[in-house]
Amino acid sequence: MRNAELFPHQSHDHDGCVRAALAAAEEQCQRSGARLTTIRRRVLELVWDRHAPVGAYAVLDALKAEGQNAAPPTVYRALDFLLEQGLIHRIERLNAFVGCAHPVGPHAAQFLICRACGRVAELDDPAIGQAILAGALKQGFSVSRQTVEVEGLCPDCQTALA
């Protein structure tokens, strides 16, 4: 995948991203027999609202601004559901969430986090995941989950600083 696809230009069809994410969510929930309720769907839309991580309380504030009577447990339950279904990822370093670009099954997640604009791109590189597993195996370590978070500058921010 080229940089432009990982870090879409600001003029890209973001509504298309959200529509594709919602369609993938509906398919995933249908496959797993899970229910994508109205609140879960709306939380997913809010996570996909931009290509930057969003915190649980920002989601809660957005729901309240829309007139919904949401409470923190409601948002956290929706986020937990979306995590379990593989529809979003948690960016540990930021204590925030991003939409999963590849929600078709479990995978090792690698994230490129722009320290200037805050956008995050999911780099789904099986070679990185395999290297981590191989290194852990050499040490007798059993990996149950892996997430790699890499901080730097996206192409747009590099251009802006040049």
CB count within 10 Å of CB 154 equals 22
CB count within 10 Å of CB 83 equals 14
Distance CA 88, CA 102 (A): 9
Distance CA 15, CA 19 (A): 6
3-161 topology per CATH? Arc Repressor Mutant, subunit A (1.10.10)
Q: How confident is the model at residue 2 (pLDDT cuts 50, 70, 90)?
A: very low
| pLDDT tens digits, one per residue of 123-151 | 888 899 999 999 999 999 999 888 899 99
| pLDDT tens digits, one per residue of 39-81 | 999 999 999 987 789 999 999 999 999 999 899 999 999 999 9
Residue 5 has pLDDT above 80, yes or no: no
Residue 3 has pLDDT above 70, yes or no: no
The phi, psi pair for 98, rounded to 5°, reads: -135, 155
């007798």: which residue's tokens? Answer: 140
Go through 47-60 and write b for each residue having 16 or more CB atoms within 10 A of its CB, e for each that does not: bbbbbebbebebbb
> What residue spans define the domains of the chain?
3-161
| pLDDT tens digits, one per residue of 97-110 | 999 877 876 777 89
List the beta bridge partners of residue 114. 152
Distance CA 148, CA 125 (A): 11
């747009």: which residue's tokens? Answer: 156
Residue 1: predicted pLDDT? 37
